[in-house]
């Protein structure tokens, strides 16, 4: 007898994956340059040359060590390097015992949720949100509570988050720079959140964590991205090198349980326990060593900056409404009809693949992933124009 929930998850790919698969088929049919695939967040810039050079150097290492198991939480020297980096970069105390290397932010978030939640607990997420949060939360018998962001700014609605907190709340997931909106929460907004959470913790007599999901931290266009542990001590950072260093297939990232929280050690031990329970131990060893050498490499945001300019100026001229993106590589565009799924379906007729906002827990928008080639953006403009004209003609 199989597990029905697992069967259902396996049988129903996410709307993003479905659209991506449709795009692959369509490209095979009519040619890749005729399909404007904005469906998926796969980085379009290559990983830095230094990554390749590091891999080549690592090939001289004793293969038994290089390809062997590391300790479950990651190689001690790698965790030390990351802790030193966090101390230097953000000015907070950080120790290697509070770090747990993971297969990307996906594993990091699933582990963190399992570490701090008990069945029946609630996890708050500002919406729109990355859809896998729901799956990871429900998998451990907890409930995801969506709190819409303020519009039109898509800032955190702190009073609404406060109203959603109760004696079952154990965490709030904060993703900034944000997928799917491309927004970055301001320091003031995060400080307001932190002050409210501190008050609610005292009132309810229970710990409420922030899980800071940070795969896009370095992808910004001038915005300040505050380091949440500096603002709220009970923070668990889930970092990843998938987007900033263009290494999504290598599955490497880390969890950092802030040293500043009063239960820092117990939380880090629970993280290790959750990693063990979920089978997420000993992150890919080769890439642990790669990131030890490449940790401080900057992200190559230039290609995304150019795409962002091309896309926003083109769509603005055509009369589309969107949220001015401050980070990540997503543009959040208002659908030209209330039903975003119908809008996305119509866009397909013009070979434009746009993800409807229903996948992210809200109606009326589409996400345009602009981690694509420049030619794709330029080539898509007549299609966006024709899509708009089809609505104007009604």
Residues within the interface to ligand PLP (CB under 6 A): 41, 104-106, 130, 175, 179, 213, 215, 240, 242, 248, 253
Distance (Å, whole) CA 378 – CA 385: 12
Instruction: Considering the complex, state which of residue 74 and residue 387 has its C-beta at the smaller distance from ligand PLP.
Output: 74
Instruction: Considering the complex, state which of residue 179 and residue 380 has its C-beta at the smaller distance from ligand PLP.
Output: 179
Burial class of 29 by CB neighbour count within 10 A (0 to 12, 13 to 18, 19+): exposed
Residue given tokens 């909106």 in the structure block: 181
Q: How far is the CB of 207 from ligand PLP (least distance, A)?
A: 23
Phi then psi for 306, rounded to 5 degrees? -65, -45
Q: How far is the CB of 319 from ligand PLP (least distance, A)?
A: 29
- What are the tokens at 351? 């070979």
Instruction: Considering the complex, state which of residue 134 and residue 265 has its C-beta at the smaller distance from ligand PLP.
Output: 134
Q: How far is the CB of 38 from ligand PLP (least distance, A)?
A: 14
Distance (Å, whole) CA 316 – CA 327: 18
Instruction: Considering the complex, state which of residue 218 and residue 387 has its C-beta at the smaller distance from ligand PLP.
Output: 218
Distance (Å, whole) CA 88 – CA 214: 18
Q: How far is the CB of 21 from ligand PLP (least distance, A)?
A: 16
Instruction: Considering the complex, state which of residue 95 and residue 235 has its C-beta at the smaller distance from ligand PLP.
Output: 235
Q: How far is the CB of 113 from ligand PLP (least distance, A)?
A: 12
**Nearest-CA neighbor of 164 among 194, 122, 121, 116?**
122
Distance (Å, whole) CA 76 – CA 32: 45
For residue 7, CA distances in Å to 111, 142, 164, 308, 317 come to 22, 19, 31, 39, 46
Instruction: Considering the complex, state which of residue 155 and residue 371 has its C-beta at the smaller distance from ligand PLP.
Output: 371
Instruction: Considering the complex, state which of residue 74 and residue 253 has its C-beta at the smaller distance from ligand PLP.
Output: 253
Q: How far is the CB of 206 from ligand PLP (least distance, A)?
A: 26
Phi then psi for 130, rounded to 5 degrees? -65, 120
Q: How far is the CB of 133 from ligand PLP (least distance, A)?
A: 8
Q: What length is written for the chain? A: 394
Q: What is the DSSP letter of 239?
A: E
Q: How far is the CB of 240 from ligand PLP (least distance, A)?
A: 3
Instruction: Considering the complex, state which of residue 210 and residue 264 has its C-beta at the smaller distance from ligand PLP.
Output: 210
Q: How far is the CB of 128 from ligand PLP (least distance, A)?
A: 11
Instruction: Considering the complex, state which of residue 220 and residue 242 has its C-beta at the smaller distance from ligand PLP.
Output: 242
Instruction: Tally Cβ neighbours within 10 Å of residue 374.
Output: 13
Q: How far is the CB of 39 from ligand PLP (least distance, A)?
A: 12
Judge whether 251 and 284 are in contact, CB under 8 Å: yes
Q: How open is the CA angle 39-130-87, to the nearest 5 degrees?
A: 115
Distance (Å, whole) CA 242 – CA 343: 30
Instruction: Considering the complex, state which of residue 264 and residue 274 has its C-beta at the smaller distance from ligand PLP.
Output: 274
Distance (Å, whole) CA 211 – CA 123: 10
Distance (Å, whole) CA 354 – CA 238: 27
Residue whose C-beta lies closest to ligand PLP: 104
**Nearest-CA neighbor of 271 among 97, 82, 387?**
97
| CA 222 to the chain's CA centroid | 19
């Amino acid at each position: 007898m199989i597990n029905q929930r697992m069967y259902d998850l396996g049988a129903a790919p996410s709307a993003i994956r479905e659209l991506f698969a449709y795009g692959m088929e369509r490209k095979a049919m009519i040619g890749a340059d005729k399909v404007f695939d904005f469906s998926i967040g796969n980085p379009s810039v290559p990983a830095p040359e230094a990554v390749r050079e590091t891999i080549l150097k690592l090939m001289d290492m004793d293969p038994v060590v290089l390809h062997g198991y590391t300790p479950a939480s990651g190689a001690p020297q790698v965790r030390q390097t990351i802790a030193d980096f966090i101390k230097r970069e953000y000015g907070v105390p950080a120790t290697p015992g509070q770090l747990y290397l993971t297969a990307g932010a996906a594993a990091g978030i699933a582990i963190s949720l399992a570490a701090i939640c008990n069945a029946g607990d609630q996890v708050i997420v500002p919406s729109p949100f990355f859809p896998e949060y729901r799956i990871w939360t429900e998998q451990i018998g907890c409930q995801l509570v969506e709190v819409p962001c303020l519009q039109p700014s898509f800032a955190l609605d702190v009073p609404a988050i406060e109203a959603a907190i109760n004696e079952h709340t154990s965490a709030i997931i904060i993703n900034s720079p944000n997928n799917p909106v491309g927004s970055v929460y301001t320091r003031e907004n995060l400080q307001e959140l932190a002050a409210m959470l501190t008050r609610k913790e005292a009132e309810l007599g229970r710990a409420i964590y922030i899980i800071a999901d940070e795969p896009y931290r370095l992808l910004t266009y001038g915005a300040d991205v505050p380091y949440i542990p500096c603002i709220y001590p009970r923070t668990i950072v889930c970092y990843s090198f998938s987007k900033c260093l263009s290494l999504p297939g290598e599955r490497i990232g880390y969890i950092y349980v802030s040293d500043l929280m009063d239960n820092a050690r117990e939380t880090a031990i629970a993280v290790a326990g959750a990693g063990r329970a979920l089978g997420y131990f000993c992150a890919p060893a080769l890439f642990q060593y790669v990131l030890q050498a490449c940790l401080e490499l900057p992200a190559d945001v230039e290609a995304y900056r150019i795409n962002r300019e091309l896309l926003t100026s083109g769509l603005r001229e055509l009369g589309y409404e969107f949220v001015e993106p401050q980070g990540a590589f997503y543009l959040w565009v208002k659908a030209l009809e209330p039903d975003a799924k119908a809008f996305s379906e119509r866009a397909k007729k013009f070979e434009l693949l746009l993800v409807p906002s229903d996948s992210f827990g809200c109606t009326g928008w589409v996400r345009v992933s602009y981690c694509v080639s420049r030619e794709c953006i330029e080539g898509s403009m007549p299609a966006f124009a024709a899509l708009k004209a089809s609505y104007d003609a009604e």
